[in-house]
């Protein structure tokens, strides 16, 4: 991969870009060869959801990923290169696809600016084959356009407003082949850049989005969920496995098409400490959610390449009063059953990270409090050497016992047996990888698959010895209700 740098204080001109693209074309060695030119520029502030709302067409692929705390958000749209695959080697195939794409990429711009350079957007399904047509078991794409916001501030109180300290990067990825016309390409680039920059003053008044009356239907009735939990508890007692995570799916039908951007904006406001994500297949289906669960991040922390993951399991509702809330938090922190459910996740993550040759360290367990629910959370960190790719870590960690159970294979068999719907992208890795092999994946829980006037909402709960079937149903319904409140 080649990188051409230009001075930070100097925006490239039309001529600079033309010259760069022409050089890329001239470097093609034969008629069959294809190269990628990746151009990174810094721009002034732009509202990413406004771009999603006003520029991206429903039949264009998009990917939106906002890190918990709203410090970073990244939007990709339109496809430069893509891979769709399935099977046991899907994560490895995704890694190979990215490495092959990077080998034919020439990068232009300041690669030290946050979120500059080529980024690849990935979504996977929970199982390694997918019966559900909307999304394949593995999908990776390099977008034609990528826009990112990066905030240096640790705790922004006014996160939903544009902050003067935020920095914005745009990356355009252009496919260069024998028929490539550099002049036309620069003119198109310029036009799209202008369109993006014109969006920044657009007010997307999402709070006015019409809330419509939805009809709702569980895919499997609540009684069936209770019966499944009881059967799972019998198998746990008979020592077949320790834990299984069983989910419910709720279908909603709206008289009007569901409003994707309004739903995302609601999720942002309701869940400021969750990952907010949206991925479309370019064919009318979109998967969105607000997940509190990090699968894995690899980033430079104080000049050390560091892997961070979280064990997240063990839940309680939030109280209606501060006293009730504190009581519920205290019960969660001291419940033998919840601590055990949490520990199963920690043990598995530690073991899988060691399999990767890492020496992980645990931070003390803490409470992660969301607006409707609270969880036990243990951050886990490890130093990584350059031979561990982010997708190697995803392949090793997914699915953790937080969303599958333990032991993994037996738990997954029980999920297939007890759940009567396809999990699709629910509870699966969703995230991005950059040109350095760094990036971040969330676990796609608290999520919904939207198509036109319909949506399927997903939520689950971990079942271990001592679980109470009615409480588990209540937990799943609480999680579903939170999503329902956000879908507009």
Ligand X SMILES: C=C(O[C@@H]1C=C(C(=O)O)C=C[C@H]1O)C(=O)O
Does the footprint of ligand X cover residue 61 (CB under 6 A)? no
Q: Are 111 and 117 in contact (CB under 8 A)?
A: yes
459 binds ligand X (CB under 6 A): yes
Q: Determine whether 243 is an active site residue.
A: yes
The mark string for 129-158 relative to ligand X (x by CB under 6 A, - otherwise) is: ------------------------------
Site pattern 315..344 for ligand X (x: CB under 6 A): x-----------------------------
Q: Does 375 bind ligand X (CB under 6 A)?
A: yes
Candidates 293, 341, 419, 440; catalytic one: 293
Stretch that binds ligand X, among 38-46, 91-99, 251-259, 313-321 (CB under 6 A): 313-321
For the purposes of burial, counting CB atoms within 10 Å of the CB of 167, is it exposed (0-12), middle (13-18) or buried (19 or more)?
A: middle
- Asked about 396 being catalytic, the answer comes back as no
Is residue 428 at the binding interface for ligand X, with CB under 6 A as the rule? no
**Is position 189 an interface residue for ligand X (rule: CB under 6 A)?**
no
- Contact code string over 277-296 relative to ligand X, x by CB under 6 A: ----------------x---
Strand-pairing partners, residue 65, are: 74, 277
Q: Check binding of 444 to ligand X (CB under 6 A).
A: no
> Given 25, 95, 243, 479, which residue is catalytic?
243
Q: Is 81 in the site for ligand X (CB under 6 A)?
A: no
Q: Given the complex with ligand X, which of 67 and 375 has the nearer CB atom?
A: 375
Smallest gap, in angstroms, from Cβ of residue 311 to ligand X?
Answer: 9
Q: Does residue number 95 form part of the binding site for ligand X (CB under 6 A)?
A: no
**Is 255:212 a contact under the CB 8 Å cutoff?**
yes
Indicate whether 429 belongs to the interface with ligand X (CB under 6 A). no
Binding residue count for ligand X, defined by CB under 6 A:
18
Q: Residue 367 Cβ, how far from ligand X at the closest point, in Å?
A: 12
- Options 462, 483, 487, 488; binder of ligand X; rule CB under 6 A: 462
Kindly tell me which residue out of 102, 445, 449, 487 binds ligand X, with binding defined by CB under 6 A. Answer: 445
Site string for ligand X, 396-425 (x = CB under 6 A): ------xx----------------------
Contact 270, 482 (CB under 8 A): yes
**Residue 313 touching ligand X (CB under 6 A):** yes
Report the DSSP beta bridge partners of residue 351: none
Pairing of the two strands 275-280 and 294-301: unpaired
Binds ligand X (CB under 6 A): choice among 399, 479, 483, 486: 479
Which among 74-82, 134-142, 308-316, 378-386 is the span making contact with ligand X, rule CB under 6 A? 308-316
CA distance 312 to 209: 33
Q: How many CA atoms lie within 13 A of 410 on its CB side?
A: 11
- Residue 356 token pair: 């990767």
Q: Cβ distance 155 to 102 under 8 Å?
A: no
Sites for ligand X among residues 235-254 (CB under 6 A): 245, 247
The footprint of ligand X (CB under 6 A) covers: 245, 247, 293, 312-315, 375, 402-403, 427, 445-446, 459-462, 479
Catalytically annotated residues: 243, 293
């Amino acid at each position: 991969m080649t990188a051409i740098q230009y001075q930070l204080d100097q925006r490239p001109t039309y001529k600079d870009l033309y010259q760069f693209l022409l050089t890329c074309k001239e470097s093609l060695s034969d008629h069959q060869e294809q190269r990628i030119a990746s151009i990174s520029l810094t721009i002034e502030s732009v509202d990413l959801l406004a771009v999603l709302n006003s520029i991206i067409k429903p039949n264009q692929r998009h990917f939106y990923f906002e890190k918990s705390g709203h410090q970073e958000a990244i939007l990709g749209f339109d496809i430069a290169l893509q891979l769709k695959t399935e099977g046991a080697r899907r994560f490895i195939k995704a890694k190979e696809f990215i490495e092959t794409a990077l080998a034919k990429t020439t990068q232009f711009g300041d690669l030290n600016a946050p979120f500059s350079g080529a980024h690849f957007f990935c979504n996977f399904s929970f199982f390694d084959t997918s019966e559900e047509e909307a999304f394949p078991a593995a999908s990776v794409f390099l977008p034609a356009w990528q826009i990112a916001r990066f905030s240096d501030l640790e705790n922004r109180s006014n996160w939903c407003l544009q902050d003067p300290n935020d920095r914005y990067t745009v990356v355009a990825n252009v496919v260069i082949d024998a028929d490539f016309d550099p002049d036309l390409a620069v003119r198109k680039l310029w036009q799209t850049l202008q369109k993006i920059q014109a969006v920044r003053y657009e007010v997307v008044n999402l709070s006015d989005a019409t809330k419509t009356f939805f009809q709702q239907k569980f895919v499997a009735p609540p009684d069936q969920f209770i019966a499944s939990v009881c059967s799972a508890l019998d198998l746990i007692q008979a020592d077949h496995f320790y834990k299984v995570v069983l989910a419910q799916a709720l279908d909603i039908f709206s008289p009007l098409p569901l409003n994707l951007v309004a739903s995302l904006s609601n999720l942002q406001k309701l869940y400021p400490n969750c990952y907010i994500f949206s991925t479309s297949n370019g064919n009318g289906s979109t998967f969105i959610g607000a997940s509190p669960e990090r699968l894995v991040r690899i980033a430079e922390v104080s000049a050390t390449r560091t892997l961070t993951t979280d064990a997240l399991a063990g839940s309680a509702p939030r109280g209606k009063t501060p006293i009730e809330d504190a009581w519920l938090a205290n019960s969660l922190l001291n419940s033998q059953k919840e601590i055990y459910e949490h520990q199963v996740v920690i043990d598995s993550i530690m073991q899988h990270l060691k399999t990767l040759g890492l020496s992980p360290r645990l931070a003390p367990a803490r409470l992660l409090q969301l607006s409707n629910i609270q969880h036990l959370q243990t951050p886990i960190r490890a130093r990584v050497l350059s031979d561990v790719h982010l997708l190697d870590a995803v392949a090793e960690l997914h699915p953790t016992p937080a969303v599958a159970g333990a032991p993994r294979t037996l738990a997954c068999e029980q999920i297939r047996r007890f759940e009567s719907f396809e999990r699709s992208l629910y509870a699966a890795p969703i995230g991005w990888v950059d040109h350095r092999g760094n990036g971040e994946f969330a676990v796609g829980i608290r999520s919904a698959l939207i198509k036109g006037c319909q949506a399927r909402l997903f939520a689950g709960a971990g079942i271990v010895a001592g679980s109470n079937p009615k409480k588990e149903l209540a937990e799943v319904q609480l999680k579903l209700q939170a999503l329902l409140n956000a879908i507009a």
